[in-house]
């Protein structure tokens, strides 16, 4: 099979290699998926660059997310599943065989049904973004009727969190963005209100939008950098669910400000969800897709041989939606 891999961490142009690798075969409880599209997430490029941790395998085929068709199954998996359209996630987390290849083998529980109306490119944009969004939204119970703030609303997670929050019955969805094009994308996804944090004071703007009441729940892309605003805006018994803190990696927590509100903080790391959390997320994402309530936005699509350019597009930091590589 054709694949991209790296054997050392570094710049995309320096370490990503295109070539042929043996076709993998599924073991017990696994499926082999013919990959039609592979999603490139920030965690993929950070891992390749060496910004997260040393390599856990000698040769890494990158990317955890993808979509395609099941072509073979291992022992214990119903053979009737061969031919199913699926989205794939967690493929490269502590595993050598990611989705940036024509064939990827994963445990069957790392797949979800992909409706016929959803393209493979859209399916490859699910995985990390959709499951992260789902866990961040549900970590404090249902959001039905609640006012939800989703920071970074034009990112891959943010856009899907907006759609899922509306599908789950949130009363009002507010989001923050950095510019007018991203504001338009967030509104198209279903946001009720948008704050441009380059032009507006976030706390003042959201207090005005909520008549001074703040928000019940926050899906947070930048915990440390936005902590002061989050603490000011969170209502009593609310939750800040965060999946990143790149700007301030070791923030100082204002414990008593949160304690006096009985408000809490929940970190979200999609790769290590419990089986129950993961199954719930896959079930809801599949339902939202089938009902047409969730449609991932695609920023750009690259051929396999242009994988380095796809990584650089993610690293540039100005994409809106997901970056996709097509192995086949």
Residue 188's pLDDT is 98
**313 CB-near residues (< 8 Å, 6+ apart):** 40, 299, 300, 302, 319, 323
32 contact partners, CB below 8 Å, separation of at least 6: 23, 24, 25, 26, 70, 71, 72, 73, 103, 104, 105
Per the document, the length of the chain is: 328
Distance between CA 118 and CA 73 in Å, rounded? 23
Asked whether the predicted pLDDT for residue 238 surpasses 90, the reply is yes
Q: What is the pLDDT of residue 284?
A: 98
Model pLDDT for residues 146-201, shown as the tens digit of each residue: 999 999 999 999 999 999 999 999 999 999 999 999 999 999 999 999 999 999 99
Whole-angstrom distance, CA of residue 205 vs CA of residue 207:
6
- For residue range 127-138, list pLDDT tens digits in order: 999 999 999 999
Q: What is the dihedral of CA 247, 183, 192, 237, to 10 degrees?
A: 0
Neighbours of 210 (CB within 10 A): 18
258 backbone dihedrals φ, ψ, rounded to 5°? -75, -40
Secondary structure letter of residue 289 according to DSSP? H
Residue 294: what pLDDT? 98
Asked whether 96 and 90 are in contact (CB, 8 A), the reply is: no
Query: Left if phi > 0, otherwise alpha if psi is -120 to 50, otherwise beta: which for 113?
Result: beta
pLDDT in tens, 76-133: 999 999 999 999 999 999 999 999 999 999 999 999 999 999 999 999 999 999 999 9
State how far the Cα of 168 lies from the Cα of 291, in Å rounded to an integer. Answer: 12
- Tell me the helix, strand and coil percentages in the chain, rounded to 5: 35, 30, 40
Mean pLDDT of all residues in 252-270:
97
Mean pLDDT throughout 227-253?
97
User: Which band of pLDDT confidence, cut at 50, 70 and 90, is reported for residue 328?
Assistant: confident
Between strands 103-107 and 30-40, the pairing is antiparallel
Task: Show Cβ contacts of residue 83 under 8 Å, excluding neighbours closer than 6 positions.
Answer: 69, 70
Residue 83, pLDDT score = 98
Bridge partners of 239, per DSSP, are 217, 264
Q: Find how far residue 248's CA is from the centre of its chain.
A: 20
- Does position 52 have pLDDT exceeding 90, yes or no? no
CB burial class (10 A; 0-12, 13-18, 19+) of residue 58? Answer: exposed
Q: What percent of the chain has pLDDT over 70?
A: 100
Summary mean pLDDT of the chain: 97
The long-range contacts involving 14-17, CB below 8 angstroms and separated by at least 24 positions, are 15/48, 16/48, 16/62, 16/307, 16/308, 16/311
pLDDT of 278-313, one tens digit each?
999 999 999 999 999 999 999 999 999 999 999 999
pLDDT at 36 over 90: yes
**Domains of the chain, earliest start first:** 2-126+296-326 (3.90.180.10), 129-271 (3.90.180.10)
Q: Which residues, 6 or more positions from 34, have their beta carbon under 8 angstroms from its beta carbon? A: 68, 69, 70, 71, 102, 103, 328
CA distance 212 to 207: 4
């Amino acid at each position: 099979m054709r694949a991209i891999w790296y054997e050392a961490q570094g710049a995309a142009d320096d370490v990503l290699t295109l070539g042929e690798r043996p076709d993998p075969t599924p073991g017990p409880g696994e499926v082999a998926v013919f990959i039609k599209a592979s999603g490139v997430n920030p965690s993929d490029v950070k891992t390749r660059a060496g910004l997260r941790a040393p390599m856990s395998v000698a040769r890494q085929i990158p990317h955890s997310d993808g979509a395609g068709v099941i072509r073979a199954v291992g022992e214990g998996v119903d053979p009737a599943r061969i031919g199913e359209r699926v989205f794939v996630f967690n493929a490269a987390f502590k595993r050598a065989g990611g989705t940036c290849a024509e064939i990827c083998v994963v445990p069957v529980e790392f797949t979800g049904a992909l409706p016929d109306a959803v393209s493979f490119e859209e399916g490859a944009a699910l995985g990390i973004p959709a499951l992260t969004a789902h866990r961040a939204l549900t970590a404090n119970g249902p959001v039905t009727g609640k006012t939800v703030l989703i920071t970074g609303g034009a990112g891959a997670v943010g856009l899907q969190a907006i759609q899922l929050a509306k599908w789950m019955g949130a009363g009002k969805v507010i989001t923050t963005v950095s510019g007018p094009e991203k504001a338009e994308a967030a509104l198209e996804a279903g946001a009720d209100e948008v704050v441009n944090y380059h032009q507006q004071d976030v706390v003042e703007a959201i207090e005005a939008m909520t008549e001074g009441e703040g928000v019940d729940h926050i899906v947070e892309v930048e915990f440390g950098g936005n902590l002061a605003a989050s603490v000011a805006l969170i209502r009593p018994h609310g939750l800040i669910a965060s999946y990143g803190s790149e700007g301030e990696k070791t923030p100082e927590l204002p414990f008593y400000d949160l304690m006096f509100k009985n408000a809490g903080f929940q970190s979200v790391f999609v790769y290590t969800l419990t089986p129950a959390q993961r199954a719930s997320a896959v079930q809801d994402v599949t339902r939202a897709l089938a009902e047409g309530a969730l449609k991932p936005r695609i920023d750009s699509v690259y051929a396999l041989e242009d994988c380095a350019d796809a990584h650089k597009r993610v690293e540039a930091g100005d994409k809106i939606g997901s970056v996709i590589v097509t192995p086949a």
